[in-house]
Amino acid sequence: MIGLVFIGSGLSQEPKISLSLSGLGKKGEVYITIHNIGDTAITDINISIDGEYYKTIRGKSNPRKGFETVLSMDPGKHKVEVISPEGAYESLVVNVPNVPEQEEIPEPEQPYKNKTFIIIGTVILVVGIWLLIKPRRLKLD
C-alpha cells in the first residue's frame, strides 16, 4: 500500500512555467524566454498580451527545457501571460520603451580603396602586356 501512495503522488505533479524577459529589439520587439520548470511535459502554450490572445506556440516542452520567442508590442507597459492546456500559468509585466525611429546614415564612401585596386590592376596589366610583346634578345655567342 505504501508503494501505491508514492506512485499516486508522483503522477499528480503540477505543470509549472517560468517566464522571463530576454531582451528588447527594434520597433517594439520583445524577446521572452519560456521555461518548463515542472516535472511534466506541457503543450501548446497560449500567449496573451494585456488580456488579449496573441499567439499559440504549438508543440511539446519537456521538463527543465525552455525556448525563446519574439513578441511585437507598442510602446508602454504591458502584461504578458502564458498558459498551457495542462494548467501551467505565469505572467510578466514588460515596459516597452518609446524609441524614436532613426534615419539610416549611409556609410561614407571609401574612395581610395577602389582607386588602389584599379591602380594595382592597371600596373599588373601593363607589365604583363609589356612582357608579352617585348622583343626577346637572342644570344649568338
The CATH number that applies at residue 22 is: 2.60.40.10
Could you tell me if residue 3 is inside a domain? Answer: no
The pLDDT value given to residue 111: 58
Could you tell me if residue 6 is inside a domain? Answer: no
The pLDDT value given to residue 35: 92
Number of domains in the chain: 1
The pLDDT value given to residue 134: 77
The pLDDT value given to residue 113: 63
Structural domain span for residue 52:
13-96
Contact between residue 24 and residue 72 where contact means Cβ atoms under 8 Å apart: no
The pLDDT value given to residue 70: 92
Rounded (5°) CA angle 46-50-56 = 15
Could you tell me if residue 54 is inside a domain? Answer: yes
Could you tell me which residue, 38 or 7, shows the higher pLDDT? 38
The pLDDT value given to residue 97: 87
Could you tell me if residue 107 is inside a domain? Answer: no
Could you tell me if residue 102 is inside a domain? Answer: no
Instruction: Give percent of the chain above pLDDT 90.
Output: 43
Pairwise CA distance, residues 83 & 16, whole Å: 9
Q: The whole model's pTM is what?
A: 0.61
